[in-house]
Amino acid sequence: MVALRRAGYDRVVQSALIFGARNLGRAVAHHLASTGMNVAVAARSEDSLARVKAELPATVTIQTDAREHDKVESTFERAQEAFGQIDVVVVAISPSTSGGARGSGEISECSPSALDPYARDLLPALFTVLSVGGRFLRAQGSGTYIQLTGGSSRRGMARGGPWAAGAFATRGMIQAAASELREQAVHVALLIVDATIESDKTRERLVDKDPIQSTSEQDVAEAVAYLAGQSERAWTHELQLTPRGDRWVP
């Protein structure tokens, strides 16, 4: 089924491969599937993939480890085999912060391992998916690659130095890839969610706050669809979402 038509020319956007199946990845899968797109979701967690499959039975689910090149290569091959072509790649992988690394305190008080979730796990995974995905889309001669990240990719925030280091590096990788792949008709974009995202894990602390102080997973998913549907005559390489009731920093 035709889902999104890029304004200005006839190419139809009808398939997506999403890395990450827990919060934002799952929301993006729901929204893109609701437009009629064919969707594949890749993640490490069997439980997260099973939940997506139960909610969206037509979705192709692929268990993978984004840090491992061969597994990422196999993931793209499986999605390409299922759909014929991958029109949109969305990367919604989150760092493992079970030890509290995202809010790890002042840099002078951080433990020596504070960077580990980013330098050891997140960045290698993002780099691997970007490298393999860029090659697949370049071989197709088309496609959109969307990386999700947070507001710390634009500015370092107090008590969040390790997360800012990872987010700044993510932004740099995407800028480099966007410059490299433009000539091959591949659109690479960074979607910066500079906001608290209302979800199961944040709902309690947002209960007494005005909704305009936060954003929703649906808002983010709709921004992904907007980037995926852009004309080649008006590509956005960096899009920032900021709720009206929250602080905005130009």
DSSP track, 208-246: TS-GGGSEEHHHHHHHHHHHHT--TTS--SEEEE--TTS
Hey, is 23 helix, strand or coil? Answer: coil
| Residues 77-123 pLDDT 10s | 999 999 999 999 999 998 875 444 455 689 999 998 999 999 999 99
Residue 22: left if φ>0, alpha if ψ -120 to 50, beta else—which one?
alpha
- Side chain identity at residue 85, one-letter code: Q
For the entire predicted model, the pTM comes to 0.94
pLDDT at 97: 56
* Percentage of the chain exceeding pLDDT 90: 85
Percent helix, strand and coil across the chain, each to the nearest 5: 45, 20, 40
d(CA 38, CA 191): 21
Q: Which domains does the chain have, with CATH numbers?
A: 4-241 (3.40.50.720)
Which residue, 35, 85, 67, 228, is CA-closest to 76?
A: 85
How crowded is residue 50: how many other Cβ atoms within 10 Å of its Cβ? 12
CA atoms of 136 and 24, how far apart (whole Å): 24
- Per-residue pLDDT of 177-197, as tens digits, reads 999 999 999 999 999 999 999
